[in-house]
């Protein structure tokens, strides 16, 4: 019987994959054991939207590294194409790409992670983002169509929110830390018993017993 594979779901372990990159062979998620990492795909080398994204990732790389997050790119182009494109970006745009880029095939990582766009060429990947935590667990996925460039700032914001949630056992509101209702505050988990619910009623930092917030 043919084995059916599916893309991983949030909260599951990132699949074990051996990949060829511009910095040599790597095993994922083993290569980043104990660290967060972001795997992001792009449709093709030497394309305008992808170039703007690579420049943005490179310019913000230090911000990711300060959060303990490694970066790794991917497309179905071959290694020599990645290398030439990276050289072009450095020569023409004066931006050095510090992270490895995976050279994949349509039957490899891209298929395993559901990154092949069925409505487009079967050799092109969508703009996918996978955020994996230090335990190798997939924590966030974002998919964009080929025509729409990503916001690297949003990826950074989401990672900061995930780390805050993990470290303090809280949730973060829409557009945290710039939410229209509670600003940079975080959301306290809802009460799970009547006594706690009654204690929260009428408090300054609570809209109701199930919606309380606080500063960190």
- Catalytic, 212? Answer no
The pairing of beta strand 101-103 with beta strand 69-75:
parallel
Local structure of 138: helix, strand or coil: strand
Within 8 A by CB and 6+ apart from 83, the residues are: 22
Catalytic residue among 19, 20, 50, 129: 50
Local structure of 115: helix, strand or coil: coil
Local structure of 167: helix, strand or coil: helix
Local structure of 50: helix, strand or coil: helix
CB-based contact 136:13 (threshold 8 Å): yes
- In DSSP notation, 55-89 reads HHHHHTHHHHHHTTEEEEEEESS-HHHHHHHHHHH
Q: Which residues are identified as catalytic?
A: 50
């Amino acid at each position: 019987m043919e084995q059916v594979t599916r893309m991983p779901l949030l909260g599951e372990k990132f699949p074990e994959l051996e990949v060829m990159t511009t910095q040599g062979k790597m095993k994922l998620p083993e290569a980043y054991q104990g660290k967060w990492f972001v795997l992001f795909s792009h449709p093709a080398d030497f394309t305008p939207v992808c170039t703007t994204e690579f420049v943005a990732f490179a310019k913000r790389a230090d911000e990711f590294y300060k959060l303990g997050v490694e970066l790794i790119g991917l497309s179905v182009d071959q290694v020599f194409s990645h290398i030439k494109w990276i050289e072009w970006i450095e020569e023409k745009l004066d931006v050095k790409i510090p992270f490895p880029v995976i050279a994949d095939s349509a039957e490899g990582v891209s298929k395993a992670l559901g990154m092949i766009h069925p409505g487009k060429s079967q050799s092109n990947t969508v703009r996918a983002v996978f955020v994996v935590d230090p335990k190798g667990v997939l924590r966030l996925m974002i998919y964009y169509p080929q025509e729409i460039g990503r916001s690297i700032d949003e990826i950074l914001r989401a990672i900061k929110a995930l780390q805050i949630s993990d470290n303090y056992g809280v949730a973060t509101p829409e557009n945290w830390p710039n939410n229209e209702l509670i600003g940079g505050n975080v959301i306290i988990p809802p009460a799970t018993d009547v006594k706690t619910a009654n204690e929260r009623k009428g408090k300054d930092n609570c809209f109701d017993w199930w919606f309380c917030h606080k500063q960190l």
